[in-house]
Chain A
Amino acid sequence: MNLLFREALLSFRRAPLLSLLSITAIAFSLFTVGLFGLVALNLRQALRGVEERVEVVAFLLRGTAPETITLASQDIASFPEVADVKFVSEDQALVQARRELVEFKDAYRDLQVNPLPASLEIRLKDGFRDAAHVAGVADRVRGFPFVEDVRYGRDWIARLDQLRNMAGVVGLIIGAAFGLIAVVIIGVTIRLTIMQRAREIAIMRVVGATNWFIRGPFLLEGALKGILGGLMALALAFAAYTLFRGAGPLGLSSQLDRNTAELILATDNLAERNAVLERRLIDIYKRGQLYVYQVLLTVESFGELVSRYKYLYLTSQQDRQLVGEVESLRNRIAAQRNNVLEVRTQLDRTKEEREAELKRYGTLVDERAQRMQALKRSARNTEQQLSTLEKDAARLTSLLATADKRRSDETARAAARGVAPAAGSLTTADLGKLDWPVQGTIVYKFGRDTLASGGVIRWNGIGIGAPAGTLVKAVEGGNVGLVGNVGTYGLTVAVEHGNGYWSLYMQLQSAAVKQGEKVVRGQTVGTVGGANSDYGPHLHFEIRGENQIALDPTAWLRRR
């Protein structure tokens, strides 16, 4: 026995190249045989797993009554093909989507409102899981009015079936051919060795070696070559396995990753993004079942080659749609905002950079929200401001009314005593002839005006900008009817000119007259103030007619 091995190994030593060549040839033949065998085997196994999970999924319209669903479930469960029916609520759908669709996990987490539909998952009995029965059940389920959509994996199951059969047949033929080749190669190399060693064999015969003794080493040599070839084939198969295992799922996730990133990145407008995303997510969820099978196959199977084919087929439709959607989305948004361009060029960046981009985008949205809030806050301020201005104006008017009342009462009493009423000092004859109370530019005009804060106001007078402290002169003689603070209008001097006419000097820094004093035209009544107002130092000047009606002072003042 020992000798047998020595003799067999001797032939390897004598013809190492020939031995190596034949072993390699055997290895590749066996590897091919094994490859096809494994592929066929795996496909069958994978398909069996898939067949067990074959489900028809009926997605339900939102708001379908629970009783209706229960009744329908029972109805469907009584179909002869159906094994069981499982109701998946909207919430369960979301949980499931988050768990199963790993690539879109983040997207599902970010949802504010759950957009996913409830569904009925229908599992079929053994023997009814072929494409025809699945389609039949799906059609009948589609007939229910509250069923929005029905999904099932008919297409790719049929395709997989086909592929399996094809792989089986092709594998058998090619396997047989390569098996034969392996046998021939072994035969030829042994034959070669025999010829090479004819002399030796002759001598063996002469010295009395038995046939078995002569053949033994050759058989052993053949066996060794076969075994070595087989081991090499195994190593090759293992190498191929690890190679494809590494490559298979990688392409899948990165592609989807990119699509998702594109989807999210490309949408600048928040509302639009949500709408698109929601629609996409519903879609992806509905496709989920197939998707999971696909992942199942990639992960569990050894035949990575074929799962790649399968994956390509499965995802082609999905991706085409996805790409189309993203494309149209891009175009739409590109028209609206040019900064999307910039975002899109950044798509090829590393993941970190993309994340940073997303974050920046998030802060942008935040900022905008903040600005909006600030704006709202300032609007509220404006309103407040307006209302105080109006309140103050009303207060002034009522003060004037009270003064007018008092005056008219006094006039009436005087008339009763026989005193004729004094003629007013300010009449319509003065229109356009009055001197300006202070020289300066008009900072706001009489009537309707828009405030810096955005609010709209009706001014009862004009604003005349002038350095603080400038002397303010009475436009006409009269009685000082009022000296005092009127809210936001500040220190106010009101001069009564008779017949209900008043001239009002407001936003004063100081008053030079006292209530009840008589003033003459051109007399100083105070100094310009209002430095803290929105308009800077200025005089607020009003002229009031009968019944405190505000008149446009520019009509009365001298034209410039």
Chain B
Amino acid sequence: MIRFAHVFKSYPNGALALKDVSFAINKGEFVFLTGHSGAGKSTILKMLFAEQRPSSGDVRVASYAVQTMRGEDVPKLRRKLGIVFQDFRLLEDRTASENVAFALEVTGARRDTIPARVMRVLTQVGLAAKARAYPRELSGGEQQRVAIARALVNDPSILVADEPTGNLDERATRGVFQLLREINTSGTIVVMATHDLDLVRQTTYRTIEMREGAVVYDSAADEKADELT
């Protein structure tokens, strides 16, 4: 589903964000992306939804070659993804359900199906009761769940989450993480960048660790090594 092969990324200002990054993520995987600040986690995630393109190397996401794809194909790629950010990125002047519906409207979904689909995902994230609340009336955890619901509403095959729990307390973090695990259970790839090592240690999910733009650890490779040894 996702494959990075010898990916280099240098930003126009000369910063070398990625150095020869290679990995592959298969259907149904839950992957943690860890590393110090500035290690290149967000850069990798941005390549997944084609906001950044590799300077060299090959990035493939859901059959799209990110380095060569046409601009008009970018929205098509993104409709197959769900994206969640640390700062939620909700529209302040719309209710929870409107924020979720917005993602459907934008993709040209049939109008009569929208309310039902919105309610379904809001129920899924446990916010059906707050469908008519505005972001400012919601807690951080609830806002992030609205953002996740918005990411899910298009039934994505990949969920990209860039430090989704970064702004949340422990309880909220656990709630959101639990939600992501459930989503993964239903077959969706989840790629999640995080600093929260406790969270990482709680599970046995695959972990890719970055340092200064390079992959320094990949638990999948360990497993392979384990298998080999």
Looking across the interface, which residue of chain A has its beta carbon closest to that of B81? A208
**A residues near B, CB below 8 A?**
2-3, 14, 199-200, 202-211, 213
Are B83 and A206 interface neighbours, CB within 8 A? yes
The 8 A CB mask of B156-187 against A (1 = contact, 0 = none) is 00000000000000000000000000000000
Are B76 and A211 interface neighbours, CB within 8 A? no
Asked if B111 is at the interface (CB within 8 A of a chain A CB), the reply is yes
Asked if B36 is at the interface (CB within 8 A of a chain A CB), the reply is no
Are B72 and A208 interface neighbours, CB within 8 A? no
Asked if B207 is at the interface (CB within 8 A of a chain A CB), the reply is no
**Nearest Cβ distance between residue B98 and chain A, in whole angstroms?**
11
**Nearest Cβ distance between residue A200 and chain B, in whole angstroms?**
6
Given the complex, which residues of A lie within 8 Å of B72, measured CB to CB? 210-211
Are B79 and A208 interface neighbours, CB within 8 A? yes
Q: Which of B95-128 contact A (CB under 8 A)?
A: 102-103, 105-108, 111
Q: With A and B bound together, what is the CA distance between A200 and B89 in angstroms? A: 9
**Nearest Cβ distance between residue B29 and chain A, in whole angstroms?**
22
Interface of B is mostly: helix
Q: With A and B bound together, what is the CA distance between A331 and B206 in angstroms? A: 116
Asked if B150 is at the interface (CB within 8 A of a chain A CB), the reply is yes
Are B91 and A208 interface neighbours, CB within 8 A? no
B interface residues, how many (CB within 8 angstroms): 23
Given the complex, which residues of B lie within 8 Å of A14, measured CB to CB? 93
* Most A Cβ at <10 Å: residue of B72, B93, B106, B111: B106
Assuming A206-B49, A206-B89, A207-B78, what are 9 further A-B pairs, CB within 8 angstroms? A14-B93, A200-B91, A204-B102, A204-B106, A205-B78, A206-B83, A208-B154, A209-B107, A210-B72
Q: With A and B bound together, what is the CA distance between A3 and B101 in angstroms? A: 12
Q: Could you name 21 residue pairs across A and B whose Cβ atoms are closer than 8 Å? A: A199-B91, A204-B102, A206-B49, A206-B78, A206-B83, A207-B83, A207-B102, A207-B106, A207-B154, A208-B76, A208-B77, A208-B79, A208-B106, A208-B107, A208-B154, A209-B107, A210-B75, A211-B71, A211-B72, A211-B75, A213-B106
Looking across the interface, which residue of chain A has its beta carbon closest to that of B106? A209
Contact partner, B91, options A3, A203, A210, A211, Cβ 8 Å: A203
Given the complex, which residues of A lie within 8 Å of B150, measured CB to CB? 207
Are A203 and B105 interface neighbours, CB within 8 A? no
* Most B Cβ at <10 Å: residue of A202, A205, A209: A209
Given the complex, which residues of A lie within 8 Å of B49, measured CB to CB? 206
**Nearest Cβ distance between residue A176 and chain B, in whole angstroms?**
36
**Nearest Cβ distance between residue A276 and chain B, in whole angstroms?**
81
**Nearest Cβ distance between residue B108 and chain A, in whole angstroms?**
8
Q: With A and B bound together, what is the CA distance between A3 and B49 in angstroms? A: 25
The 8 A CB mask of B213-227 against A (1 = contact, 0 = none) is 000000000000000
Given the complex, which residues of A lie within 8 Å of B93, measured CB to CB? 14
Given the complex, which residues of A lie within 8 Å of B78, measured CB to CB? 205-208
Q: With A and B bound together, what is the CA distance between A210 and B81 in angstroms? A: 15
